[in-house]
């Protein structure tokens, strides 16, 4: 009887403890890149493996984005006055509006600026730089490739060198693919990357594919080292010929 009363009285605390333990288990299960990658001793082969592995994940997310973009164009270039507000089509449009933080649900140009692919060369360069070629603690402990933070302890782990009084955590992802998804959504909807979105849109207006090398120079707000960060991205893309991944992606018709 006493045990029953204790369980009733402390049910909320017990539930929160369970959630915390579940969060810790999720963090422990994060494993980063395949084991075989970390066993490659040749630096050039390791780079090739890293880029190929990342390219597959980036291409997958880009194809999903392209489908969303095509859906929007199909809906908003048809007779939108006849849209049934109770239809799955309208609800899907509404979901995309909320996902990308679109202000006006019927403004095609606003969608076109935000719902678009991330050039592979840019994503691969940032992945290499932010993750230490997939070998940082962010990756091994949290499947976090692009250095994302969170302020929710249920979804994060404490950075080793976090400043006194700071409250941010390293965000934990269930998989590397989920990390790539979050990175691309971040670039597409965050106001901090408005320059990226606008520059990419202008390239589209000129009937050009998004250029990862040029767009890398809009990432001023991605890192605290600012212009030095832009130079590092430029070097990684150039030295490793990452624009070939852009060509490969565009030639594949997505």
In a domain, 5, yes or no: no
3-class secondary-structure state, position 169: strand
Q: Is 175 left (phi over 0), alpha (psi -120 to 50) or beta?
A: beta
Q: How many domains does the chain have?
A: 1
Q: CA-CA distance, 216 to 235, in Å (whole number)? A: 10
For the chain, give the percent of residues with pLDDT over 70. 80
Averaged pLDDT of the chain: 87
Paired strand residues for 171:
156
In a domain, 4, yes or no: no
Supply the angle between the helices 243-251 and 43-76 in degrees, to the nearest 10.
Answer: 50
CATH number at residue 183: 1.10.530.10
Give residue 166's pLDDT.
Answer: 67
- pLDDT exceeds 60 at position 124: yes
Give residue 84's pLDDT.
Answer: 79
Sorting pLDDT into bands at 50, 70 and 90, what band is 81? Answer: low
Give residue 21's pLDDT.
Answer: 39
Are 180 and 61 in contact, with CB atoms under 8 Å apart?
A: yes
- pLDDT exceeds 80 at position 128: yes
Sorting pLDDT into bands at 50, 70 and 90, what band is 64? Answer: very high
- pLDDT exceeds 50 at position 202: yes
- pLDDT exceeds 50 at position 16: no
In a domain, 203, yes or no: yes
Give residue 5's pLDDT.
Answer: 53
Residues in the chain: 254
In a domain, 155, yes or no: yes
Q: What average pLDDT does range 7-14 have in this prediction?
A: 47
Nearest to 30 by CA among 138, 146, 151: 138
> Helices then strands (H, E): number in the chain?
13, 3
- pLDDT exceeds 80 at position 26: no
In a domain, 51, yes or no: yes
In a domain, 12, yes or no: no
- pLDDT exceeds 70 at position 18: no
- pLDDT exceeds 80 at position 177: yes
In a domain, 16, yes or no: no
Paired strand residues for 140:
none
Q: Quote the domain boundaries for residue 81.
A: 42-251
Helix (H) or strand (E) holding 149: strand 149-150
Give residue 212's pLDDT.
Answer: 98
In a domain, 28, yes or no: no
Give residue 216's pLDDT.
Answer: 98
């Amino acid at each position: 009887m006493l045990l029953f009363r204790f369980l009733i009285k402390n049910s909320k605390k017990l539930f929160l403890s369970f959630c915390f333990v579940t969060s810790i288990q999720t963090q422990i299960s994060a494993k980063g890149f395949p084991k075989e990658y970390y066993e490659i001793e040749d630096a050039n082969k390791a780079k090739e493996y890293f880029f190929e592995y990342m390219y597959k994940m980036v291409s997958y997310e880009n194809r999903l984005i392209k489908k969303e973009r095509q859906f929007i164009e199909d809906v908003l270039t048809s007779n939108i006055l006849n849209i049934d507000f109770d239809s799955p089509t309208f609800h899907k449009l509404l979901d995309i509006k909320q996902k990308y933080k679109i202000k006006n649900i019927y403004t095609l140009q606003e969608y076109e600026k935000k719902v678009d692919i991330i050039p592979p060369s840019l994503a691969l360069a940032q992945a290499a730089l932010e993750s230490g070629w997939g070998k940082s603690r962010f990756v091994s402990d949290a499947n976090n490739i692009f250095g994302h933070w969170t302020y929710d302890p249920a979804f994060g782990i404490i950075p080793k060198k976090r400043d006194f009084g700071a409250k941010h955590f390293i965000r934990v992802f269930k998989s590397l693919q989920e990390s790539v998804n979050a990175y691309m959504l971040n670039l597409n909807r965050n106001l901090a990357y408005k320059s990226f979105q606008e520059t990419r849109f202008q390239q589209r207006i000129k009937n050009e594919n998004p250029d990862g090398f040029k767009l890398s120079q809009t990432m001023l707000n991605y890192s605290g080292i600012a212009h030095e960060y832009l130079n590092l991205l430029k070097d990684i893309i150039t030295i490793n010929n990452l624009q070939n991944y852009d060509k490969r992606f565009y030639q594949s018709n997505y």
